[in-house]
Amino acid sequence: MDPVPRDMAVLTIGIVSQLTGLSVRMIRYYEDLGLVVSFRTSGDQRRYSINDVARFLLIKDMIAQEYTIAQIRKALHPPVVPTQPTVQPTPTEQELNDRELLEDIREQLRNRKERMTREPTLIEGQLSQFFRKK
DNA sequence: GTTCTGACA
DNA sequence: TGTCAGTA
């Protein structure tokens, strides 16, 4: 049985802050930079999905590895809009290159040995339960 | 109480 | 990046 839809934006910025270890200030900042796109309630409050949390953790890792904002933005492009049925447009040559870059980055993250000594791993471990299946 | 935007250091 | 102001 599939648990919560990973793209259901129901998390407040405060919760995401606790889940990722990122300050509320930085979460909003990364949005300003175009690294993420948040769903907004009628009251204009931000709402995030589990996918977004994973995205933030990836961003966090990349920044820790000193990737430039431009590289991160490119790797994570296009921004996945929560709740919106992500329609796959025409995969342009550029997008295909971006996918390769993203895979390259993820590969690096997988092989990184320093992960063992990292602090926030516990949070990610707990988060991983949402991704167990598949 | 929590979040939002803008602004300052 | 943190924090403060004035709101919603």
Q: What is the CA radius of gyration of chain A?
A: 15
Q: Is A56 exposed, middle or buried (0-12, 13-18, 19+ CB in 10 A)?
A: buried
Angle at Cα A94 formed by Cα A78 and Cα A46, nearest 5°?
A: 10
Give the amino acid at A52: D
Flag whether pLDDT at A71 surpasses 80. Answer: yes
Give the per-residue pLDDT at A117. Answer: 47
Summarize the confidence of residues A26-39 as an average pLDDT: 95
Match 């000594």 to its residue by tokens: A117
Flag whether pLDDT at A85 surpasses 50. Answer: no
Flag whether pLDDT at A72 surpasses 60. Answer: yes
Q: Give the residue whose CA sits closest to C3 at C1'.
A: A25
Give the per-residue pLDDT at A84. Answer: 47
Residue A3 in tokens: 């648990």
Question: Is there a contact between A24 and A13 (Cβ–Cβ < 8 Å)?
Answer: yes
Give the per-residue pLDDT at A122. Answer: 47
Give the per-residue pLDDT at A40. Answer: 96
Q: Check if residue A26 sits with its Cβ under 7 angstroms from strand C.
A: yes
Q: Quick one: residue A54, left, alpha or beta (phi over 0 = left, psi -120 to 50 = alpha)?
A: alpha
pLDDT digits 0-9 by tens, A54-67 = 999 999 999 999 99
Contacts of A98 (CB under 8 A, 6+ apart): A74, A75, A77
Question: Domains, chain A, ranges and CATH?
Answer: 13-131 (1.10.1660.10)
Q: Check if residue A46 sits with its Cβ under 7 angstroms from strand B.
A: yes
Q: Give the residue whose CA sits closest to C8 at C1'.
A: A43
Give the amino acid at A40: R
Secondary element (H or E) of residue A56: helix A50-64
Q: A24-32 and A13-20 helices cross at what angle (nearest 10)?
A: 100
